[in-house]
Chains A and B, each alone.
Chain A
Amino acid sequence: MSDTTATQILSFIEARFPQARIDRTQDIFSLGFINSLFAMELVMFIEKTFGLTVPNDELNINNFRTVDAMTALVDRQRGTVGVA
């Protein structure tokens, strides 16, 4: 499940920034051409694609720096939803 999640997030970033050559552990904001405005798009994409609402205390830039961090965020939220 996480692999699929990571692939979807990676595809979204690469579609938006065709010049990007990134892996799952790379800090996308350190690449020089992705700014914090894109973080807003990432939140919208993740919420829409995975059908969840990121809680306010998880809306931290560190949760969106890498594909792995975003994947973990999605997994955490799904876990929370599942338990509830």
Chain B
Amino acid sequence: MTVVGVVGAGVMGIGVAQNLASSGYETILVDVEERILDDAKAAINRNCRLSRLMGGPALDPDEVLGRITTAVGVEALAKAEIVIENVTENWDVKREVHARLDQVLTPEAVVIVNTSAIPITRVAAVGDHPERVVGVHFMNPVPAKPVVELIPGFHTAPETVEVTRQLLSGMGKKAVDVKDASGFVSNRVLMLTVNEAAYLVHEGVATAESVDEVFRGCFGHPMGPLETADLIGVDTILYSVEVLYEHYADSKYRPCPLLKQMTDAGLHGRKTGRGFYTYDNAGQ
């Protein structure tokens, strides 16, 4: 069975690792601290336990965790055939991680960039093998979302795309092909919507509850934009809007000051217990 490395044990990395392991892949999950990895294993154990309750398949936590090994540092991924990188949506961090991955991995290994808004071509240019780098935008929660955006970069080889399609199929995902442009399809629209919704709260036009109620009640969305922001992470929303703003140099992407203040204050949404709403530490 294919050995898949997962870089970053945050909300997305946890979901990707769980999805891979429950699909039968041998998975190596890495991050920068043992504590983060311990928390990740606890979260995967909890998510597997609650999977059926959340409308997913019944999962045995021990069986899923049995296919996941954890390690500090990307050096542990030397034998990985495919790596899915899920680090924070910050260019300096992404660049450093990809430079190290390029040194550690075999030239044949495929590198999947899981990003909300950073162009794949830009990430691929960090290493010496841009042909093996491809973008996949997973949705959150990863195991529950059956569709992803698949984004080849300028130099991505057809073989890289094919390997990625097969992996996604094995994970139970349908891939929608999208060209490489910051934010792709989903976040060009979603991040602007969330940002504008935050402005409504910031300006006192409506409460978070009212904004979300309009989207649920009037448009039939299952969740409003600010509930979605709490699920994704308010900090991730801010970083994504900042990436769009920087990339397009268009003032329509100017980040709402409320998002900045909430990020500084640690109000990052579900993962910190408080964002636009308050949670009972149920976490990711």
Binding site for B on A (CB under 8 A): 12, 15-16, 18-19, 32-33, 35-37, 39-41, 43-45, 48, 56, 59-61, 64
Q: How would you classify the secondary structure of chain B's contact residues: helix, strand, loop or mixed?
A: loop
Query: Given A18, A33, A40, A56, which contacts B54 in the complex, CB threshold below 8 Å?
Result: A40
User: A59 CA to B49 CA in the complex, in Å?
Assistant: 8
> Looking across the interface, which residue of chain B has its beta carbon closest to that of A45?
B280
A41: B residues at CB distance < 8 A:
279-280, 282
- Mask, B209-222, CB within 8 Å of A = 1, is 10011001100001
User: A59 CA to B231 CA in the complex, in Å?
Assistant: 22
26 contacts between A and B (CB under 8 A): A12-B280, A16-B277, A16-B278, A16-B279, A16-B280, A18-B209, A19-B213, A32-B216, A32-B217, A35-B222, A36-B53, A36-B55, A37-B231, A37-B282, A40-B282, A41-B280, A43-B50, A43-B282, A44-B281, A44-B282, A45-B280, A45-B282, A48-B280, A59-B52, A60-B53, A61-B55
User: A15 CA to B277 CA in the complex, in Å?
Assistant: 10
A40 to chain B: closest CB distance in Å? 5
> Looking across the interface, which residue of chain A has its beta carbon closest to that of B53?
A59
Is A39 in contact with B280, judged by CB distance below 8 angstroms? no
Is A19 in contact with B209, judged by CB distance below 8 angstroms? yes
Query: Given B54, B209, B231, which contacts A36 in the complex, CB threshold below 8 Å?
Result: B54
B131 to chain A: closest CB distance in Å? 39
> Looking across the interface, which residue of chain A has its beta carbon closest to that of B144?
A36
Is B280 in contact with A37, judged by CB distance below 8 angstroms? no
Is B49 in contact with A56, judged by CB distance below 8 angstroms? yes
Which B residues between 130 and 177 are near A, CB-CB below 8 angstroms?
none
A64 to chain B: closest CB distance in Å? 7
